[in-house]
Chains A and B, each alone.
Chain A
């Protein structure tokens, strides 16, 4: 999907501004390029439509919504996903999405980078 030299482009979806901002700052400083940061399901769908990223880091809960529909579109497009959630359980996600890596909140920077890199390969 991406060549080794080009920086990996990342979509960040999290409904908390501070957390999203923090992710962006961290990922940008870790050799990734965060191309979009959105906080709602509506904005996430817009971002998926716009495209321009290689990997998506998705918070599962977005306010009262669940990220499922946007994630399914990404999965259809073959875009790798890393789920971030304060939820320990998986049953909120449909079966088809349970194969993606999941990280708990607050995120572990090393694990996050490893997860994205693992997907990217």
Chain B
């Protein structure tokens, strides 16, 4: 990011510098065009003065003699055309010997006329004696130039040098610069001097030129005015122009003002203004130099705001893009973070939903269908997911609920309650694809977002719970039944025992023995879940209370037999009665008595038990059949449909018991 920013800033700066350079180049070209125009104009102007001299010379050559009037006539338009031209003069060559006649001739027109010269202290005086004189004679225009009349140009050294050079070469020669006299604006002046020879043909040798030399035509030039005149004919441009003569500035136009100078220097140093146009301008036999430079005004006039527009616009663009990309990056990061959070949340949601122990559906009320279901829902309703996603809660329910109301109308109420912010929990009868009704409990709750009507349904199949509840209820009833039956039996035993007991002591002993036998049966049956008890176990738990002496007096033998529940309790009671009787009156009442208990299965599958006492006191048949005897026979016959026969043999009581096969559990084995 930072690197991109640096590159962008650098790019903007490079663009700015490039445009700036192009601008400078353009301004420079503009400048050079205007400067060259100026150089050309100045050159043409200076040329024109020399040309005027030639024109004047041609005029002289054409006429035999040129009068003062003719001179003025010819020179006037030339003077009017050139702003820098102060005057045209004609100065004849006057030899010493001709001086007096010459002065006399001119005095006819100008009585005060003398050939004059400048003294050392700057005063005009009558010229001293010399071989020859070049007095200014014809003057056009006269105004302002009057004082120069009669002035001997040959008396001034520089003028004389030029005069001689002109005479010898036959070409124009320049004298100056002079400080011109009588000017408001102090400026340099030049004399452009063209020699004049007698005759129509130009002399071809130096000797001939010296011999036929008759005078000079002089153009008096004000260089500053000339410069101004040349440039002001051009389209204006703030360019400074300086004309120099052999290193000295002789004229300047639009020079730099002192207050602009430092700034201009700075600009030149920076390269923005480091250009100029310099050229030489031929002026007669002189070469002037001219230098054009742009001024601050020129720069201001031609500089365009383009570089600054590029810089400002570019900077703004970079700034704007920086902000834009920064905010974009921030936004993208935020979005990525949000997306990640959303994905994680969705994954969590999926795990929560898919691994929920119950069936979960998401119902879209507006679409009227499920928009999500979990695997448990697929299993519960026995329908594929795609099918469920076209259905709703009513579609997977029977038309009517158990209370007779329509599923659709109840569900509407539940949905309205849920959308209103409730979280109803209701028993609900669903129906799977096989048509099986599923008692369920549904819990509804509204899901976000609130601009959608989404409801999560959590559905628990309660049929197993129902069955468990039912089983529990049945077990409770069964227990109730057994307790009541047992109480009824205990009550019946108490009544029967009471009727056959002679003393309370006897009742207590007999009754408690019988109830204990019941209790033991109950315990054994309960331990085996009321399915039945092995015969040997019934025998052991019934007889062991009476088999307490060190020697085994009760001998049991027989195959393993599994008794049904009825036979278990019946034999328990029967054997208890036999043992209790033996302990009281029979073989177990005395030392040396014994009991042999054997059993076997007989042909029809019945169980036959044989109880045989021996070694006890002699047995006498009781006068009256006691309850104990009736109990033994009654339990076996009444409860089992079997038989029990008691034989009061004198050597000991014998009892044979037959239990029908339906009360035996052959499959159960001896568990």
Contacts and interface: CB of A to CB of B under 8 A. Distances in A.
Contacts of B634: 17, 21
A16 B485 CA distance: 9
Interface residues of B, number: 24
Interface string A45-87: 0000000000000000101000000000000000000000111
A18 B480 contact: no
A21 B492 contact: yes
Chain B contact residues, majority secondary structure: helix
Contacts of B635: 17-18
B335 interface: no
A37 B495 CA distance: 17
B639 A88 contact: no
Interface residues of A, number: 28
Interface string B475-507: 001001111110111011101100100000000
Interface in B219-277: none
Interface centre among B485, B489, B634 (most CB of A within 10 A): B485
Interface string B629-663: 01100110011010000000000000000000000
A107 B491 CA distance: 10
B521 interface: no
A25 B638 contact: no
B639 A104 contact: no
A11 interface: no
B155 interface: no
Interface string A14-30: 01111111110110000
Given A19-B488, A38-B638, A25 B495 contact: yes
A117 interface: no
Nearest to B627: A21
A98 interface: no
Contacts of A25: 495-496, 499
A18 B487 contact: no
Contact of B488 (A37, A43, A61, A86): A86
Contacts of B631: 17-18
B638 A22 contact: no
Contact of B639 (A22, A39, A61): A39
Interface of B: 477, 480-485, 487-489, 491-493, 495-496, 499, 566, 630-631, 634-635, 638-639, 641
12 contacts: A16-B488, A16-B492, A18-B492, A18-B496, A22-B496, A25-B499, A37-B638, A39-B641, A63-B566, A86-B481, A105-B488, A107-B488
